[in-house]
Amino acid sequence: MSKPFSDNVVIITGASSGIGEELAYQLAAQGAWLTLAARDESRLNAVAAECRQRGGRARVVKTDVTAPKECETMIAATVKEYARVDTLVNNAGVGMWARFEDVTDLSLFEKIMRVNYLGSVYCTSYALPHLKKSRGRIVAVSSLTGKTGVPTRSGYAASKHALGGFLDSLRVELLDTGVTITIAFPDFVATPIRKSNFGADGKPLQTSPMNELNLMSVEECARHIVRGMETRAREIVMTPRGKIIGWAKIIAPSLVDRLTRAAIARRHRKA
């Protein structure tokens, strides 16, 4: 079996659960050298132990990606441990589920932007000199909301559009450096982020507002991402709906609006 990430130094933010956790396991199985970053150190230690069982190396660095100094420290710790950085996976994220007109705490939008957008900016900034030396990879876990606006996700969609704009611009700046940028656009995935989505009052909902049937598994989602990382794909779009959206937004944007509204309505739990 080919193991393209054997001895590859990979930093994963948001590695304590969900997509980040599963990416860590799948890359560890290939023998990757991992830095696992998130705020929950106890969960990171558990993920790291499992990664070692699966054949990888793992270093835990407790990190709040909204704090530039902590991002700088995390990158420095990685270089001290492994002497280089080959791959940065910007995965840390928070979500929301509320109609804009119902939002009573507008600081929610700043909070989401700081994690989903600025957190990636900070980590990328400090990792970039090392990635240029290794001709490495920058990978970002976005969402289909990074391609089209979605009702009840206005702040989340804005953060993912900002992330995409930043990385599309950076990709052009990095032409001929050997550093590549891959953006993953998952559809609905069965991850804990759904239960920690912020509601209209700016507080976590604690329970998922979605119908949980037929969501993509986190294992399948991570497999798509790892394959795209291996080939240094520009984009990773995982579902037929996702592949259609890009073209449909150009050809029939009003139709996309109606279909998106209907899709979200179907996913809401019935009272």
Which residues belong to the active site?
Answer: 156
CA of residue 232 relative to chain centroid, distance: 16
Nearest to 192 by CA among 180, 169, 208, 173: 208
Token reading at 89:
């996976």
Contact partners, residue 149, CB within 8 Å, separation at least 6: 157, 257, 260
215 DSSP assignment:
P
Cα–Cα distance, 88 to 63 (Å, whole number): 14
Residue 62 to residue 73: CA distance in whole angstroms: 10
Please give the Cα distance from 196 to 192 (Å, whole number). 7
Answer for the pair 95, 193: CB distance below 8 angstroms, yes or no.
yes
Secondary structure, 3-state, 101-150: HHCCCCHHHHHHHHHHHHHHHHHHHHHHHHHHHHCCEEEEECCHHHCCCC
